[in-house]
């Protein structure tokens, strides 16, 4: 499964990206150019400084298309997923060296998550093309298994209607498949990879349902720290992108809470340093699809305390007011991740071929 490719001769930081993914339906944003200065974004105590040398070094080694997700594996590598026909999964060092190019067998990778520990870690890659799937790989890039459309659920007339955006691992085994580009169902799978049940979509009533272009990413609040005072039991947060909100469900699929994030376009939730970090693709999305995005920092209880590249959050009478971008350090942040030193990495979608961006935490 592992394939190496020679570096391209011509490296262009502003390379145009190909429309390969299910939501890559607009041309890259020509006006955007990655900054060259170490700009600081965010509000105290969540301020991060851009490291332009990291992106420049990467751009000298390869061109970039649409960035989707990034995680740090047990080997300390930053695994960066982008769309592309050749080796869309890059293993990158914290010093911006491309260590390996892994061909996952599809240009449609969208979601990337890790399950397990140490060398037993597994990559779960969601492909959001028609008839997509959740593919499991080893750290060496060897394909282990693939979960295709859950036709046993009787919810799909055709496997082409299944277009999963992400898989959320369950610590005890198994995962939730988020069908964010298909019919908006959330499917739970056992540790053996067997379909168990579904919720969301048109199932249930009221807030238990999930609309089209809703569930895009999510995270399991499995520890007490991640749950804060919301629940004694683990639950699932879902980022409802075009719906500008989060929803919370129990692990058996019962709706528990809807949390509005006005002005935000929550694509995912990443846990770090006692907070959830939530990338927004663009301010006022989907009305303004070319406006820059930002990254919200949220407490376990659901209070936004900072916005990176965005306006400081304001609450009036307990209600969060509409948020917006405050700069243009990055354009459309689609996926984010942290390394073991607390550095932030930002993957850009539809941002004129912008390379992976790295930020260091500013502590004073």
User: Can you give the residue ranges of every domain in the chain?
Assistant: 40-200+213-362
Tell me, what's the pLDDT at 122?
Answer: 98
pLDDT given at position 9? 29
Separation of alpha carbons 275 and 281, rounded Å: 19
d(CA 44, CA 112): 30
**pLDDT at residue 86 in the model:** 76
Mean pLDDT of 166-194: 97
Query: So what's the pLDDT on residue 167?
Result: 98
Residue 2 has pLDDT above 90, yes or no: no
Which residues, 6+ apart, have CB-to-CB distance to 274 below 8 Å?
Answer: 225, 300
Residue 30's pLDDT band (boundaries 50, 70, 90)?
Answer: low
CA 101 – CA 75 distance, rounded (Å): 15
pLDDT at 8 (0 to 100): 33
Q: How confident is the model at residue 126 (pLDDT cuts 50, 70, 90)?
A: very high
Q: How many CA atoms lie within 13 A of 135 on its CB side?
A: 24
Return all residues near 64 (Cβ < 8 A) that are at least 6 apart.
Answer: 15, 17, 58, 82, 353, 354, 355, 356
Where residue 85 falls among pLDDT bands split at 50, 70, 90?
confident
Euclidean distance between the first and the last CA atom of the chain, given in angstroms as a whole number: 46
Three-state DSSP class for residue 326? coil
Smallest Cα–Cα separation from 353: which of 102, 10, 80, 32? 32
Closest to 337 in 3D by CA, of 114, 180, 118, 174: 114
Residue whose tokens read 């170490």: 38
What pLDDT, in 10s, does the model give residues 56-74? 999 999 999 999 999 999 9
Mean pLDDT of 236-253: 97
The distance from CA 345 to its chain's CA centroid, rounded to whole angstroms, is: 11
C-alpha span between 138 and 104 (Å, rounded): 11
Residue 255 has pLDDT above 80, yes or no: yes
Task: For residue 166, name the pLDDT band (cuts at 50, 70, 90).
Answer: very high
Q: How confident is the model at residue 349 (pLDDT cuts 50, 70, 90)?
A: very high
Is residue 92 a contact partner of residue 50, using CB atoms and an 8 Å limit?
no
Which class is 40-200+213-362 in CATH? mainly beta
pLDDT category of residue 146 using cuts at 50, 70 and 90: very high
Q: For residue 108, give the nearest of 80, 125, 128 by alpha carbon.
A: 128
Whole-number mean pLDDT of the chain?
92
Is residue 11 pLDDT above 50, yes or no?
no
Split at pLDDT 50, 70, 90, the class of 5 is very low
Residue 246 has pLDDT above 60, yes or no: yes
Residue 7 gets which letter from DSSP? P
d(CA 287, CA 285): 5
Which residues have CB under 8 Å from 187's CB, separation 6+?
A: 150, 153, 176, 177, 179, 195, 196, 197, 198
pLDDT range class, residue 29, cuts 50, 70, 90: low
Residues 6+ apart with CB under 8 A from 147: 133, 134, 135, 136, 177, 189, 193, 195
- Per-residue pLDDT of 262-286, as tens digits, reads 999 999 999 999 999 999 999 989 8
31: confidence class by pLDDT, cuts 50, 70, 90: confident
Helix (H) or strand (E) holding 56: helix 52-59
């Amino acid at each position: 499964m592992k394939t190496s490719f020679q570096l391209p001769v011509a490296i262009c930081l502003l390379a145009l990206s190909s429309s390969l993914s299910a939501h890559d339906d607009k041309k890259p944003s020509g006006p955007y150019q990655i900054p060259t200065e170490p700009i600081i974004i965010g509000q105290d105590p969540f301020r991060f400084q851009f490291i332009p040398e990291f992106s420049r070094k990467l751009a000298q080694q390869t061109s970039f298309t649409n960035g989707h997700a990034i995680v740090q594996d047990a080997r300390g590598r930053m695994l960066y997923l982008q769309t592309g026909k050749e080796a869309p999964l890059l293993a990158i060092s914290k010093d911006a060296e491309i260590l390996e190019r892994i061909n996952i067998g599809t240009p449609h990778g969208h979601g990337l998550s890790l399950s397990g520990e140490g060398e037993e870690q597994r990559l779960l890659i969601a492909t959001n093309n028609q008839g997509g799937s959740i593919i499991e790989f080893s750290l060496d890039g060897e394909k282990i298994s693939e979960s295709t459309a859950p036709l046993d659920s009787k919810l799909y007339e055709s496997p082409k209607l299944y277009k999963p955006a992400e898989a959320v691992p369950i610590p005890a085994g198994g995962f939730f498949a988020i069908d964010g580009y298909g019919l908006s169902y959330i499917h739970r799978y056992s540790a053996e990879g067997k379909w168990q049940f579904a919720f969301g979509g048109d199932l249930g009533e009221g807030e238990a349902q999930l609309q089209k272009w809703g569930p895009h990413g999510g995270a399991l609040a499995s520890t007490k720290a991640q749950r804060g005072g919301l629940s004694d039991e683990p639950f699932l947060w879902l980022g409802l992108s075009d719906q500008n909100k989060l929803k919370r469900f129990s692990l058996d699929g019962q709706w528990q809470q809807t949390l509005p994030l006005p002005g935000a376009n929550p694509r995912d939730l990443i846990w770090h340093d006692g907070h959830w970090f939530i990338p927004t693709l663009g301010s006022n999305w989907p009305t303004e699809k070319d406006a820059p995005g930002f990254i919200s920092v949220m407490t376990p209880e659901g209070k936004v305390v900072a916005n990176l590249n965005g306006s400081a959050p304001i609450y009036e009478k307990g209600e969060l007011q509409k948020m917006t971008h405050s700069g243009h350090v990055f354009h459309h942040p689609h996926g984010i991740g942290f390394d073991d030193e607390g550095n932030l990495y930002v993957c850009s979608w539809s941002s004129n071929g912008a390379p992976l961006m790295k930020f260091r935490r500013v502590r004073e």
